[in-house]
């Protein structure tokens, strides 16, 4: 829903650009002013307009991820126990009874010489026959075999281990250096471990929208995780313990875009990399504002609002005072933000928003309809 709103704002300005002569500040403003219906239309209830100040910057930064622990993950790792499944190979040793221990031999590995868990979840062991081991931990299997062998051997000393892990796996796909399939073993594997084993993220990876698909009793579940928060900020709440058939998909960063429009040297679309993108960087990448015609007090950032009763948040940077430019180095842009530099007085910019609002609203209605259809 949030991305649809962002796209709605973007499409709105693109549509508005098709009639730039009537919508862009300074172009046929008299025609806009003569439209009494639109002049009296109040959009204040749908738009959050705010001046870019240190307090606003601090409030936005407070919502950014911070380093924190993940107590739930720590508990899961501490209590982790590998569950044996079909295809695993067990190595069972009975001390002082070499006849019950299958020798690996000079040219055979423990995996080749061990007891394979068959499709019905059982293994065969001398004296006790078939033993159901699938779905059990190694310690439980050891206790089970010890209990049954004690009928034939006095106080048997038994050791059970998994010689080959073949029943469970997790998948790493998308924009990673080495997409791969990783076995789940007796060592707990987290999302961070899996990505590191895959060589790390690729150069075009979207760090902020990694999708983890897991199987639950209610069916398949998708969770979007922010690896920027995990890697760059140390937010361990974004890490997860992996289980059988989990899929980690790292998308490309094609959607991580911001649009710089208006009275700048080179209006452009820019991509947010893993380090982020500030307003100052975005303006600098376009060659800066047009000093001859741009209104330095009218630098705006339009962002789709996350409030249900609002359409867009508008942040205004008044750079007519050069000292205020420092705020642009601290304002972090988000995907699908629109940066607009006006060449008209700020008072006229409000009239432009009036003209843009019906298109904003129409596109959002379409977006909401698509959401309801998809759900």
Q: pLDDT digits over 281-313, tens only?
A: 999 999 999 888 888 899 999 998 888 888 899
Beta strands across the sheet bearing 115-116: 115-116, 89-94, 158-164
Q: What is the mean pLDDT of the chain?
A: 82
pLDDT tens digits, residue range 225-264?
999 899 888 999 999 999 999 999 999 988 889 999 999 9
Structure tokens at 82: 């590998």
Residue 324 banded pLDDT, cuts 50, 70, 90: confident
Residues of each domain in the chain carrying CATH 3.10.560.10? 2-63+256-374, 71-80+168-253
**Nearest 5°: CA angle at 151, between 148 and 153?**
100
- CATH of span 71-80+168-253: 3.10.560.10
Report the candidate in 156, 134, 124 with the shortest Cα–Cα distance to residue 143. 156
Q: Which CATH superfamily is domain 89-164 in?
A: wza like domain (3.30.1950.10)
Q: What is the mean pLDDT of residues 47-65?
A: 90
Please report the pLDDT score of residue 47 as a whole number: 86
Any idea which residue has 């250096």 for tokens? 177
Structure tokens at 271: 């991509």
Q: What is the mean pLDDT of residues 109-116?
A: 71
Structure tokens at 270: 């820019």
For residues 90 and 81, is the Cβ–Cβ distance under 8 A?
no
Please report the pLDDT score of residue 112 as a whole number: 62
What number of residues does the chain have?
375
Cα separation, 216 vs 107, in Å, equals: 42
Beta-carbon count within 10 A of 3 CB: 13
Residue 178 has pLDDT above 60, yes or no: yes
Q: In this structure, which CATH number among 3.40.50.300, 3.40.50.1110, 3.10.560.10, 3.30.450.20 belongs to the domain 2-63+256-374?
A: 3.10.560.10
């Amino acid at each position: 829903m949030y991305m649809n709103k962002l796209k709605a704002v973007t499409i709105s300005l693109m549509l508005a650009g098709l009639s730039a002569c009537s919508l862009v500040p300074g172009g046929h403003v008299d025609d806009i002013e003569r439209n009494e219906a639109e002049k009296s239309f109040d959009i204040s209830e749908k738009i959050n307009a705010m001046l870019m100040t240190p307090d606003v910057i601090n409030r936005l930064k407070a919502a950014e991820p911070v380093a924190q622990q993940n107590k739930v993950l720590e508990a899961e790792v501490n209590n982790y126990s590998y569950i044996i499944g079909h295809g695993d190979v067990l190595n069972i040793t009975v001390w002082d009874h070499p006849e019950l221990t299958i020798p690996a031999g000079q040219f055979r590995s423990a995996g080749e010489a061990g007891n394979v868990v068959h499709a019905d979840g059982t293994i065969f062991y001398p004296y006790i026959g078939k033993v159901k081991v699938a779905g059990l931990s190694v310690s439980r299997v050891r206790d089970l075999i010890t209990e049954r062998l004690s009928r034939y051997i006095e106080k048997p000393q038994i050791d059970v281990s998994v010689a080959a892990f073949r029943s469970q796996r997790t998948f790493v796909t998308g924009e990673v250096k080495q997409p791969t399939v990783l076995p789940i073993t007796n060592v707990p594997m987290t999302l961070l471990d899996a990505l590191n084993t895959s060589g790390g993220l690729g150069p075009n990876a979207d760090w902020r929208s990694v999708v983890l698909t897991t199987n639950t009793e209610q069916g398949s579940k998708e969770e979007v995780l922010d690896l920027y928060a995990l890697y760059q900020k140390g937010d361990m709440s974004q890490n997860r313990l992996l289980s059988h058939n989990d899929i980690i998909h790292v998308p490309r960063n094609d959607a991580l875009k911001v649009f710089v429009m208006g009275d700048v040297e080179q209006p452009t679309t820019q991509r947010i990399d893993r380090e982020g993108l500030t307003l100052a960087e975005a303006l600098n990448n376009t060659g800066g504002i047009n000093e001859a015609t741009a209104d330095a007090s009218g630098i705006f950032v339009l962002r789709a609002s996350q409030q249900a009763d609002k359409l867009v948040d508008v942040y205004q940077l008044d750079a007519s005072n050069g000292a205020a430019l420092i705020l642009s180095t601290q304002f972090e842009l988000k995907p699908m933000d629109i940066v607009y530099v006006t060449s008209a007085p700020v008072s006229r910019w409000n009239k432009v928003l009036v003209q843009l609002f019906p298109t904003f609203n129409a596109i959002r209605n379409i977006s909401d309809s698509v959401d309801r259809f998809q759900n």
